[in-house]
Amino acid sequence: MITLGVEEEYLLVDPHTWLPVPVAEEVGAAAGLGAVAEEGEVQRELLQVQIEVATPVCTELDEVGGHLLRLRHAVASAAEAGGCRVAASATAPLKGSVPVPITPGSRYQKMRHDAGRLVDEHLINGMHVHVGVPDKDTGVAVLNRIRLWLPTVLAMSANSPLWEGRDTGFASWRTIVFGRWPVTGPPPHFHGYADYEQRVDDLLASGVIADRGQLYWQARLSDRFPTIEVRCADVQLAADDAVMLAGVIRALVATAITEEKGGIAVPTCSPELLRAADWHAARHGTSGSLVDPEGRRRSAGDVLCMLMAHILPALEESGDAREITALVHRLLRRGTPADRQRRALAEGGMGGLGALITAEGTR
């Protein structure tokens, strides 16, 4: 069984104004000291209004779901004790007029010095899925094969339609905000692990990025674990939405490994078309059309059917086919978390939206 783990980033907000509040140090310490979360599972992020959790290494999707629920409850309880709430939204719906403080540390200080307003506006939260690979060469081969599906995964995950109290017109505004950093978007095609390392070395030698942590490709090799890290997804409203994406991503990796071993040709796509497909997915989510891996514009439902057909053997082998199929059908029926945010705002105003993104985050 291919291992996996999930990291989620959340926002800390005032329960009355819904503005971000810079209490991550206090909330993180309280959550980490409790009996629910263990050391290292609750982590700091760039801004003091954000907090991150990381599951242990898992082999089954029910493990992933159980750990996410446990960690969500840990940080939610600590936040409530501190007078704020945890919001599972990939952008801050409101951000206020004063820049929020960054987390102490030389790396984050340098990022603010180098990027200024980009750091001040980095009020975005993602979901990262680590999937185990046997070695770096296989990892790069997997990146080459899954990159064409990343826009589809992004569309499924969309959970950031609002910014500064207004609808952006995008399902994943987080993707647009994140795209302003130097190294972002779908990864390029690599000619093996040596090529990957050479291109990373060239980026570092340029001085434009400070370290490998600023390789913000939507999928990359992890420097800390024997995994590839898929980073294209918005953080999800509910834990079972996150489980769905984790299952889909693991199946994509498993399918890529099988195809690599079988000598199946690597699919190709021009970088400009793939970048356009990614932008289109961020714009529409699953509410309209998507660009499929062959570069054709089709209905989102058709592209998701293509995805499920592509990964079905891997899902069946892992025993996840029934669960993931049901969750994907539910997604198509009720829409993305971005669609649900818009409905909550239309029906209940900012209070209704705040209730959605804070209540859903604990289940």
Question: Cα dist. 316→149, 160, 260 in Å?
Answer: 19, 32, 19
Q: What is the CA radius of gyration of the chain?
A: 19
DSSP assignment, residue 189?
Answer: P
The amino acid occupying position 132 is G
- On whether the CB atoms of residues 142 and 249 are closer than 8 A, the answer is no
With cut-offs at 50, 70 and 90, classify the pLDDT of residue 300.
very high
Closest C-alpha among 181, 202, 191 to residue 117: 181
- Considering the entire predicted model, what is its pTM? 0.96
How far is Cα 185 from Cα 115, in angstroms, rounded to an integer?
18
* Per-residue burial over 44-61, b = 16 or more CB atoms within 10 Å of its CB, e = otherwise: bbbbbbbbbbbbeebeeb
Q: What is the C-alpha separation between 151 and 296, in angstroms, rounded?
A: 13
pLDDT band at 29 (very low <50, low <70, confident <90, very high): confident
* 163-222 pLDDT per residue, tens: 999 999 999 999 999 999 999 999 999 999 999 999 999 999 999 999 999 999 999 999
Closest C-alpha to 136, from 197, 95, 187, 177? 197
The reported pLDDT for the residue numbered 363 is 58
Model confidence band, residue 31 (pLDDT cutoffs 50, 70, 90): confident
pLDDT digits (tens, 9 = 90+) for 341-353: 999 999 999 999 9
Phi and psi at residue 7, in whole multiples of 5°?
Answer: -115, 135
- For 119-165, the three-class secondary structure string (H helix, E strand, C coil) is HHCCCECEEEEEEECCCHHHHHHHHHHHHHHHHHHHHHHCCECEECC
What are the tens digits of pLDDT across the range 80-130? 999 999 999 999 999 888 788 999 889 999 999 899 889 999 999 999 999
pLDDT of residue 39: 63
Domains, the chain? 4-346 (3.30.590.20)
